[in-house]
Amino acid sequence: MKSTFLWKLFAVFALIAAMGLLALRFADERMTHLIILVAAFALLIASSIGFFISRSFSRSLHDIIDVADRIADGDFSRKILPKRRNELATLALTINDMGEKLQEHFDELRRQKERLQTILDGMVEGVLVTNDEARIELMNPAVCTMLGLDVTSLRKNVLECLRHRDLHDSIVRVLHEARSEEKEIELLRGNEKRTIIIQTAPLFEKNYGVSGAVSVFEDVTSFRRLENIRREFVANVSHELKTPLTSICGYAETLLSDQPSDVSSTRFLQKIYHNGLALQKLIDDLLNLARIESGRQPLLKEPIKLYEFCEELHELYVDTLRAQMITFENKISSSLILSADRAALRRILNNLFENALKHTPAEGRIMVSAFQHPKNCIVMIEDTGSGIASESLPHIFERFYRVDKGRSRDVGGTGLGLAIVKHLMHIHGGEVAVESELGKGTRFSLTFPLS
C-alpha cells in the first residue's frame, strides 16, 4: 500500500512538472515571436533612417563633386551650400574657399597676360619666343609684319617658317650654349632687302634648365642706309681734300727747304706744314675707317711671331720712349704665334702704343703681354698713365670722342684711333676691351679667335 501511494505521489509530481515545462515552452515561443517582431520593426526603422541618411550624404557628395568638376573646368562661380554642420559641410566650405582663391589667382594671371599682350602689341621691335626645339610659341604683330609670319606659324620650326639658316642656327646656339647672342641678318621682303639686328637670350626654368629662347628683332634698314650715306660723304670729301692738302704740304716743305731769311716766314711755313700734316693724317684715318666699315678692307691672315712683331714696333718708338723717359717691356713668349692680318695688326698696335705714349708721364711704363687659350689668344697693352674715368669708358671707341678735350688738343691725335682699333678687331672676328683707373693706368685687351 505504501509503495502504491508513493507511485501515485510521484505520478502527480511528474504531471505537475510536465505541465510546468509545457507552460514554459508556450511562454518561450511567444517571447521568441515577440523578439522577432521587435527586431524586424527595428530593422525596418534602421533601414529607413539609413536610407534617408545615405540619400542626404549622396546628395551632398554629388554637389561637392559637381562643384569640383566645375572648378577643374575653370568655372569658379558655383558654390556649395551645406545644409548640416558635419564633416561634409567642412569639406564643402574648404572647396568654396579654394574656388575663391583660385578665382583671384586666375584673375591676376589674366590681367598680367593682357598687360603683357598690350606691351607686345605696342612694341616697334619684333618679339619671337621659341621652345627648346626652336619651334615658335609666341610672336607679336611687329615680328609678324617684319618676317611675314601669321597664326599658322605657331608650333612650327623657325627654319620651316623663315627659310633663313643663319637665324635658325643663332637660336639653336643660344639653346645649346645657354648664352645670349647678337646677330645682324638681311631678309628679303618683297623686292626690298631689310637689315635686322637680332638679340637672342635663353629662357630658364627651375629644375629644367633652358626651356626656350626669346628673340628681339630691330629693323635698322633706315639707319644702315643713313650710315652708308654718311660713309660715302666722308669718303668723297676726304678724297677731295686729300689732293689740295698734299699740294699745300709739298709747297710748304719746298719753301722751308729753301731756308727763307725771314724768321717770321719760317715760323709761318712750319705751322702751315705741321698743321697740313695733321689734317692729312685726319683725312687718312677717315678714309681708312670708311674703307673698314664698308667691308672693303682686305683681310689676309698669316702666322705672325708676336714677340718679334712687337719688337719691330718698339724700334719705331725708341727715340720717343727715351725722350719721355718711359720704359717698354715685352713680356710675350718668343714661341707664341698669332694668326692675323699683318697690316691690320700693325695699325692696331701702333694706335694703342701711340695712345699709351700720349698719356703716360715720365718714368712711366708701357707693357705688352699675350696669353694663348684653347679658343683664343689675348694680347694686352697696358700703361701706368693717367687712366680713364669710369663714365668715359663706354664711349672711348666712338669716333672723335675725347676723354679730356683740352689735353687732347695739346697732345694731338684725330680721335679716330680707337674706333679704327675696334673695327679692325671686328673684321678679325675678335673684340677689344678696356680696363682703367684714374691715376693708375689703362689696360687694353685684344681677343683674337684661333679658328
* Mean per-residue pLDDT, 78-98: 67
CA-CA distance, 392 to 274, in Å (whole number)? 30
- CA dihedral sign of residues 379, 385, 391, 396: negative
In the chain, which residues fall in CATH 3.30.450.20?
123-219
pLDDT value of residue 43: 57
Structure confidence at residue 24 as a pLDDT band (50, 70, 90): very low
pLDDT at 27 over 60: no
Q: Which residues contact 325 (CB under 8 A, 6 or more apart)?
A: 362, 363
117: closest CA among 142, 154, 99, 84? 142
CA distances from 327 to 48, 322, 369 (A): 110, 8, 14
| 180 or 82: which leads in pLDDT | 180
pLDDT value of residue 58: 58
pLDDT value of residue 413: 60
pLDDT at 18 over 60: no
- CA dihedral sign of residues 133, 137, 141, 142: negative
**Which fold would CATH assign to domain 123-219?**
Beta-Lactamase (3.30.450)
CB 348 within 8 A of CB 397: no
pTM comes to 0.55
**Mean pLDDT in the chain?**
78
> Hey, what's the cell of 50?
539609413
CA-CA distance, 393 to 372, in Å (whole number)? 26
Give one DSSP letter per residue of 221-256, joined into a string. Answer: HHHHHHHHHHHHHHHHHHHHHHHHHHHHHHHHHHHH
pLDDT value of residue 6: 45
In the chain, which residues fall in CATH 3.30.565.10?
301-449
CA distances from 338 to 174, 208, 328, 382 (A): 29, 41, 21, 19
Q: Give the type of residue at 343.
A: A
In the chain, which residues fall in CATH 1.10.287?
224-293
Percent of the chain with pLDDT over 90: 15
| 59 or 231: which leads in pLDDT | 231
**Which fold would CATH assign to domain 301-449?**
Heat Shock Protein 90 (3.30.565)
Burial class (CB in 10 A: 0-12, 13-18, 19+), 244: exposed
CA distances from 372 to 83, 309, 332 (A): 81, 16, 10
What would the CATH number be for the domain defined by 224-293?
Answer: 1.10.287
pLDDT value of residue 1: 45
Of 239-253, 315-329, 365-379, 400-414, which gets the smallest average pLDDT? 400-414
